[in-house]
């Protein structure tokens, strides 16, 4: 048994561990852990305390995947609800679809009785501070402007948070599951989706080969289908570490990658439950918080914090 989380996921890792210890499923474990991160008001990259879009609205994205069946569920640009990961799971379990977005996702959340929530005061204050720093007083008085797109480039700053939480787990039966949740790019253009709700880009798992999930610049990983690539390279016979490094090479080879500065962190497991983490493009965030991930494996008294490999081609 193993649980692997990205930065910030340690808030929920104990809940996932307890479920696995009791013989519960990896799917239940990753959902439970993600819910606690979504409810963490100190985390401004996930949940209703996450930094909102340019209009001051929290648009939440999430996806979940079951490695035993390849069943998936996802929501994008969901507003007004506390736990997008649970809405995503209900999409997976009760609908003939894989992904719902925007008003449709909110309608479905209401139908299933999902818990509602508003943007926290701390997150709103952060948005107001960003506006005060980047938008003139006259423009703020009539915000939003008719042309909002030019302001999106003001948010393309590698020091701004683009965090996500990844939770990967393997249970006693050897089944893998992954949950991903995020509030997305801080101050993003309304309706922007990153890789978190996109199966194959930010989330993928298959019991036969392994699992992977990503944080960071989703605009890169969408173009490379990074999470699926890590699993596919393992299917082709690569060891976990080399599969992750090959996916990292693809990201660094993207034409025009530097138009958006930042980094991508990849967390992955192989089918034997061995973990690995790798960071790509970390030099673009020099001076920012160092990436880390949390790992718990059966036999460990407590989770262990580890630094990912810094990929240098």
Say what the pLDDT of residue 286 is: 47
Gap between the Cα atoms of 297 and 274, Å rounded: 9
User: SS3 for 169?
Assistant: strand
**Catalytic residue flag (residue 164):** yes
Terminal Cα-to-Cα distance of the chain (whole angstroms): 32
* Residues 227 and 200: beta-carbon distance below 8 Å: yes
pTM of the model: 0.94
Q: Domain ranges in the chain?
A: 2-310
C-alpha distance from residue 201 to each of 13, 100, 122, 282 (Å): 23, 17, 30, 19
What is residue 284's predicted lDDT score, i.e. its pLDDT?
41
- CA 89 to CA 91: how far, in whole Å? 5
User: Dihedral through CA 272, CA 228, CA 235, CA 94, nearest 10?
Assistant: 70
**Cis? peptide before 144, omega within 30° of 0:** yes
| 223 three-state secondary structure | helix
Q: Taking the CB of residue 191, how many other CB atoms lie within 10 A of it?
A: 11
Q: Which one from 155, 164, 182, 221 is the annotated catalytic residue?
A: 164
Taking CA atoms, 260 is separated from 40, 161, 174, 219, 286, in Å, by: 28, 13, 38, 8, 15
User: What's the pLDDT at 256?
Assistant: 72
Q: Dihedral of CA 68/69/75/81: which sign? A: negative
Helices 10-21 + 26-38 axis angle, to 10: 150
Neighbours of 241 (CB within 10 A): 14
Separation CA 12–CA 30 (nearest Å) = 9
- What was the pLDDT predicted at 27? 98
d(CA 148, CA 157) in angstroms, rounded, equals: 17
pLDDT along the chain (313 residues), means of 10: 96 97 98 98 94 96 98 98 98 98 98 97 95 91 92 74 87 98 95 97 98 95 97 98 97 79 92 96 56 93 94 77
Cα Rg for the chain, rounded, in angstroms? 18
pLDDT for position 277: 97
Question: What CATH number has the domain spanning 2-310?
Answer: 3.60.20.30
**176 vs 167: CA distance, rounded Å:** 11
Apex CA 30: angle with CA 40 and CA 237, to 5°? 130
């Amino acid at each position: 048994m193993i649980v692997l989380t990205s930065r910030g996921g340690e808030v929920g890792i104990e809940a996932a561990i307890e479920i696995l210890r009791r013989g519960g499923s990896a799917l239940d474990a990753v959902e439970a852990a993600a819910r606690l991160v979504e409810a963490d008001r100190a985390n401004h990259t996930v949940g209703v305390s996450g930094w909102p879009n340019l209009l001051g609205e929290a648009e939440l994205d999430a996806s979940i995947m079951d490695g035993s069946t390849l069943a998936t569920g996802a929501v994008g640009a969901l507003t007004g609800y506390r736990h997008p990961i649970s809405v995503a799971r209900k999409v997976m379990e009760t609908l003939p679809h894989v992904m719902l977005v925007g008003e449709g996702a909110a309608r479905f959340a209401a139908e299933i009785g999902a818990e509602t929530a508003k943007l926290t005061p701390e997150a709103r204050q952060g948005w107001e501070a960003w506006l005060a720093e980047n938008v003139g007083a006259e423009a703020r008085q009539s915000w939003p402007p008719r042309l909002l797109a030019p302001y999106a480039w003001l948010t393309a700053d590698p020091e701004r948070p683009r965090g996500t939480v990844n939770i990967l787990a393997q249970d006693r039966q050897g089944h893998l599951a992954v949950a991903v949740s995020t509030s997305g790019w801080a101050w993003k253009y309304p309706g922007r989706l990153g890789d978190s709700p996109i199966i194959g880009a930010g989330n993928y798992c298959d019991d036969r080969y392994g699992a992977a999930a990503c944080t960071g610049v989703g605009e890169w990983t969408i173009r490379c289908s990074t999470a699926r690539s890590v699993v596919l390279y393992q299917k082709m016979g690569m060891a976990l570490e080399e599969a992750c490094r090959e996916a990292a090479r693809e990201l660094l080879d993207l034409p025009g990658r530097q138009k958006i500065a930042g980094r991508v962190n990849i967390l992955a497991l192989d089918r034997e439950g061995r973990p690995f983490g790798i960071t790509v493009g970390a030099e673009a965030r020099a001076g920012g918080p160092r990436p880390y991930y949390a790992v718990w494996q059966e036999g460990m008294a407590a989770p262990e914090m580890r630094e990912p490999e810094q990929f240098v081609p």
